Every structure is written in C-alpha cells, then in structure tokens.
C-alpha cells in the first residue's frame, strides 16, 4: 500500500486500511456493493478489492482531476499518450518549461504538477531527479483496469441518499475533516455538500446500509457519535507530522 496511488494525496487511508477492514469484513457478502462518496485516492476500496475481487464498487469524488484520471486508467491508448507526454517533458525540465506546462491546465499538466514539485504543488522541483513514470506499475492500476467499478462525479450527499436504503450497500464515509477543511460545511444547503449538516439531520442508525466512517476526533464529533464509536487510534500525517486521533464509527455495533 506504500505506493498505491500515482500522486501524493492528503488524507489517504493507506496506513489504516487493515484496521478499517477488520470492521467491514463481517458484513461483506456476494451481494455487497462497496461505496465511497469521498473516494480520493481509493486506498480502502483498492485494499478491499485485493481481498474480495468480485465485489461491485461505486467510487465518487467531485474532483475533475481524479474523475479524469480514473477513466483514463481504463483506456490503454490514453495511458500510453499520457506516459509519453510526461516522460518526454520531464527531460531537461527547467523552471520556465515547468511553469508553462502547468499553465495549460490539462489533465497531463495537472498530473505533472501534482507528481513533481518541491514542498508544495506548483513549485518547481529544482535539483530533483524527475523519474519517468510507468502508470501500469502502480499498484492500483490493476484495480482500475479489472475491478467492477462505477465512477461518478456527483455531490457526495446525492450518492449517500441513493444508496443508504440498500441493505447490500456498505458506505464508507471519509469526508473532509472539520479541523482541516471548511469548504464542505459552511452552508446549510445540499448544493454546497454540507455533509456534516446532513449527517446531523439524518442519523446513520436509520440507514439500511452498513456504514463505516472515519473522522478526526473532536468534541462535537465524539458527542454526535458517542453511541457509534467502535475504535479510535493515533494518526500522524506524514507531510506535516501533525498528530491527531481518528475514530471509527458504525451503525452496526460489533
């Protein structure tokens, strides 16, 4: 799982997948549909697929970049085109060339900017050895190519509402954390993807689907889900070395 995805991705769950799967496996059947409304780098779905390759997956994220990447990785001709573009352009890369490519704002240029940088995305990686990419060697490539996956780019709440009445669905909730990101909970409208407001007004205990959620521990989350917490553990973010506590919640108390 160390290099499961193509680019660094904040908040990915690659170090937590085994712990989370322990609470999911008892609910997996041949009829299970595994759903991620906030799929990001798909770390958990990829891990689940390696153990249960016949499951159906619904992967959703509002990111244009991720949605385009997911679909490109199922097209061999497009994979070759992207590899050739990136590998040709990183040869003799300098700051001017790097900056001009990023200004193109295409999928290829966005990938290059997210893959190669210094400190943060968009800063030219001066003095770094930019290694050629091979998209097919990344661990998650097999999942994207061979998994029974439906990709969507919708409001996460729409995905939740479409599936929370399905007893065969396992919904994995990994929304942006309140302590880190405020984009998702500023407004009391579904159009602004106010997932925390939605979860407050729509108890997971009333859903027919199985829910497993990962949240950053804070007093309001602990208060709202005090009856649903199934585990908590320490988490250290690799980039910023921030220390925090993650909690696992579920509407199925084991």
Q: What is the pLDDT of residue 188?
A: 52
pLDDT in tens, the chain (254 residues): 566 778 877 667 778 899 999 999 999 999 999 999 999 889 999 999 999 999 999 999 999 999 999 999 999 999 999 999 999 999 889 999 999 999 999 999 999 999 999 888 889 998 788 999 999 998 889 999 999 999 999 999 999 999 999 999 999 999 887 766 656 555 555 555 578 889 989 999 999 999 999 998 988 889 989 999 999 988 776 555 678 899 999 999 75
Task: Cite the residue boundaries of each domain of the chain with CATH code 3.40.50.
Answer: 17-62+154-250
pLDDT per residue over 146-200, tens digit each? 999 999 999 999 999 999 999 999 999 998 877 666 565 555 555 555 788 899 8
SS3 label, residue 95: helix
- How many other β-carbons are positioned within 10 Å of the β-carbon of residue 223? 8
Q: Which residues contact 203 (CB under 8 A, 6 or more apart)?
A: none
Q: Which residues contact 200 (CB under 8 A, 6 or more apart)?
A: 224
- Spatial distance between the Cα atoms of 100 and 156, rounded to a whole number of angstroms: 34
- Spatial distance between the Cα atoms of 211 and 206, rounded to a whole number of angstroms: 11
* Correct CATH for 17-62+154-250 of 2.40.160, 3.15.10, 2.20.200, 3.40.50: 3.40.50
Q: What is the pLDDT of residue 240?
A: 56
Q: What is the pLDDT of residue 93?
A: 92
Q: Which of 224, 162, 168 is closest to 213 using CA atoms?
A: 224
Strands (DSSP E) along the chain, which ranges?
Answer: 33-36, 56-60, 148-152, 169-173, 210-216, 229-236, 243-250
pTM of the full predicted structure? 0.90
SS3 label, residue 60: strand
Q: What is the pLDDT of residue 243?
A: 83
Q: What is the pLDDT of residue 236?
A: 73
């Amino acid at each position: 799982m160390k290099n499961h995805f193509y680019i660094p991705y904040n908040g990915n769950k690659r170090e937590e997948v085994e712990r989370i799967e322990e609470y999911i496996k008892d609910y997996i059947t041949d009829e299970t549909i595994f759903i991620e409304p906030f799929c990001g780098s798909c770390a958990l779905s990829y891990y689940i697929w390696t153990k249960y390759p016949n499951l159906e997956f619904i992967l959703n994220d509002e990111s244009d970049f991720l949605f385009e990447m997911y679909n490109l990785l199922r097209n061999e001709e497009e994979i070759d085109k992207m590899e050739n573009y990136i590998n040709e352009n990183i040869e003799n890369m300098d700051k001017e060339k790097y900056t001009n490519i990023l200004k193109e704002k295409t999928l290829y240029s966005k990938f290059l900017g997210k893959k190669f940088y210094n400190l943060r995305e968009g800063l030219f990686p001066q003095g770094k050895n930019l290694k050629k990419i091979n998209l097919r060697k990344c661990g998650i490539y097999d999942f994207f190519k061979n998994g029974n996956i439906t990709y969507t780019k919708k409001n996460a709440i729409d995905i939740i509402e479409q599936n929370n009445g399905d007893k065969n669905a396992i919904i994995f909730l990994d929304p942006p954390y309140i302590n880190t990101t405020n984009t998702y909970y500023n407004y009391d409208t579904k159009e602004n993807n106010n997932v925390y407001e939605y979860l407050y007004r729509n108890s997971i205990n009333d859903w027919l689907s199985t829910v497993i959620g990962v949240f950053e521990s804070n007093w309001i989350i602990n208060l709202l889900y005090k009856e649903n917490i199934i585990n908590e553990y320490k988490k250290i973010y690799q980039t910023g070395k921030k220390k925090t506590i993650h909690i696992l919640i579920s509407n199925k108390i084991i």
